[in-house]
């Protein structure tokens, strides 16, 4: 009688609730001393006292594949099939984390898809750690939100096959569930607004900096243009002033030195005519002038020869007086 399901329990997923746990695992549970001593004659009210005493979660472990106390209580819940409100209270319990995991796993086995998503998704915000028994008997720490995620997405957990449930987006598309709102949506919205405001401030600063740079470039360009115009205007005025002063003094601006140089050159040319002019071969000399020049040169040459002949005769006269031989002509 202790291993039978409550006669008032209803069929779940078309079968006896105890059949949700595999037969071989159930036999391991029935053989456990904890099942025989502590789970005997439990009710929905007294089972909570045993659930509070849980210190780990898991399926079977060790060489003998002994079942954990957690799995024994899950099977007891399937036998008793308490009201859903009691299970909801288990899940809402924040003081005892193992009681919360026990209620969540039981609801995952017997609940409808809508109930499972509505009551298990809020557990995503529970980040407390629980101890889990591994297959080899060792322990590891897992978070409650990780365990709930495995319940909603996995197909096998704690040596138990989980009933299949449709995906959440499928239930949302048919209108059975509302779109999930993250608990951090407000934080995300605040961060998004802060980032947008910061981006807007940076954009305004960038625009203002570009405008300032543009104004600076415009002023620099205007100063360069004004400086260039000023230089050109001052140069033209200086040339005009120099030209006027030189006119008053009979010169040509700053070329007073050049004018003096030209005047000196002109005077030198007057004092020393060019070789062509001295020789009568200037540009205005005629053929007759050139002939006269050549005749005068020949006459000057014969005169020189005669002078040379006279000097030789005088020399011979003197040599004759002295008794010397005369020089040959």
Express each pLDDT in 149-206 by its tens digit. Answer: 999 999 999 999 999 999 999 999 998 888 887 777 788 888 889 999 999 999 999 9
DSSP 26-82: HHHHHT-HHHHHTSTT--TTTHHHHHHT---B-SEETTTTEEPHHHHHHHHHHHH--
pTM for the model stands at 0.59
Whether residues 93 and 128 share a domain: the answer is yes
Measured on CA atoms in the order 115, 117, 123, 129, is the torsion positive or negative?
positive
Distances from the Cα of 311 to the Cα of 88, 303, 324, 327, angstroms: 166, 13, 16, 11
25 and 67 Cβ atoms separated by less than 8 Å: yes
Residue numbers of the domain that contains 213: 181-219
Per-residue confidence at 103, pLDDT binned at 50, 70, 90? very high
Please report whether residue 143 resides in a domain. Answer: yes
271-287 pLDDT, tens digit per residue, is 555 444 444 444 444 55
19 and 51 Cβ atoms separated by less than 8 Å: no
Structure tokens at 147: 């365990």
Whether residues 110 and 54 share a domain: the answer is yes
Whether residues 66 and 193 share a domain: the answer is no
The structural domain count of the chain equals 2
Whether residues 78 and 202 share a domain: the answer is no
Measured distance between the N- and C-terminal CA atoms of the chain, rounded to whole angstroms = 185
311 by Cβ neighbours in 10 Å (0-12 / 13-18 / 19+) ranks as: exposed
53-89 pLDDT, tens digit per residue, is 999 999 999 888 899 999 999 999 999 999 999 999 9
Please report whether residue 251 resides in a domain. Answer: no
Please report whether residue 67 resides in a domain. Answer: yes
Please report whether residue 243 resides in a domain. Answer: no
Whether residues 102 and 191 share a domain: the answer is no
236-275 pLDDT, tens digit per residue, is 555 555 545 444 444 444 456 667 767 766 676 665 554 4
144 and 127 Cβ atoms separated by less than 8 Å: yes
* % of the chain exceeding 70 in pLDDT: 76
Please report whether residue 98 resides in a domain. Answer: yes
Whether residues 160 and 200 share a domain: the answer is no
Whether residues 46 and 105 share a domain: the answer is yes
Whether residues 140 and 200 share a domain: the answer is no
pLDDT at res. 299: 52
114-144 pLDDT, tens digit per residue, is 999 999 999 998 999 999 999 998 999 999 9
Helix-helix angle 113-120:144-153, to 10 degrees = 160
pLDDT at res. 310: 57
Whether residues 30 and 64 share a domain: the answer is yes
Question: Where is 161: in which H helix or E strand?
Answer: strand 160-161
Please report whether residue 147 resides in a domain. Answer: yes
Three-state DSSP class for residue 258: helix
Whether residues 63 and 193 share a domain: the answer is no
Please report whether residue 271 resides in a domain. Answer: no
Whether residues 77 and 206 share a domain: the answer is no
Taking the C-alpha atoms of residue 147 and residue 137, their distance in angstroms, rounded to an integer, is: 19
Whether residues 162 and 25 share a domain: the answer is yes
Closest by CA to 296, choosing from 319, 318, 280, is 280
């Amino acid at each position: 009688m202790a291993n039978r399901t409550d006669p008032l329990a209803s069929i779940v997923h078309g079968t006896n609730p105890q059949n949700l746990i595999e037969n071989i695992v159930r036999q391991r549970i029935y053989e456990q001393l904890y099942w025989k001593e502590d789970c005997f004659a439990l009710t929905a009210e007294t089972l909570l006292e045993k659930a509070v005493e849980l210190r780990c979660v898991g399926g079977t472990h060790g060489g003998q594949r002994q079942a954990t106390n957690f799995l024994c209580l899950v099977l007891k819940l399937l036998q008793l099939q308490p009201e859903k409100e009691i299970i909801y209270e288990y899940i809402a319990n924040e003081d005892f984390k193992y009681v919360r995991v026990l209620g969540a796993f039981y609801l995952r086995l017997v609940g409808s898809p809508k109930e499972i998503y509505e009551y298990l998704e809020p557990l995503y915000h529970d980040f407390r750690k629980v101890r889990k028994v591994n297959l080899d008997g060792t322990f590891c720490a897992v978070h409650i939100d990780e365990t709930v995620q495995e319940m909603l997405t996995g197909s096998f957990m704690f040596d138990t096959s989980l009933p299949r449930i449709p995906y959440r987006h499928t239930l949302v598309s048919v209108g059975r569930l509302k779109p999930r709102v993250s608990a951090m949506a407000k934080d995300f919205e605040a961060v998004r607004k802060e980032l947008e405001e910061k981006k807007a401030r940076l954009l305004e600063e960038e625009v203002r900096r570009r405008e300032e740079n543009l104004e600076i470039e415009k002023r620099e360009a205007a100063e360069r243009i004004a400086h260039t115009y000023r230089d050109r205007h001052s140069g033209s005025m200086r040339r005009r002033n120099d030209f006027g002063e030189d006119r008053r003094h009979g010169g040509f601006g700053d070329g007073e030195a050049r004018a003096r140089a030209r005047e000196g050159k002109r005077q030198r040319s007057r004092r020393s005519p060019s070789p062509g002019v001295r020789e009568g071969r200037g540009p205005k000399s005629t053929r007759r002038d050139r002939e006269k020049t050549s005749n005068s040169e020949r006459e000057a040459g014969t005169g020189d020869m005669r002078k040379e002949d006279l000097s030789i005769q005088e020399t011979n006269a003197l040599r004759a007086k002295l008794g010397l031989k005369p020089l040959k002509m």
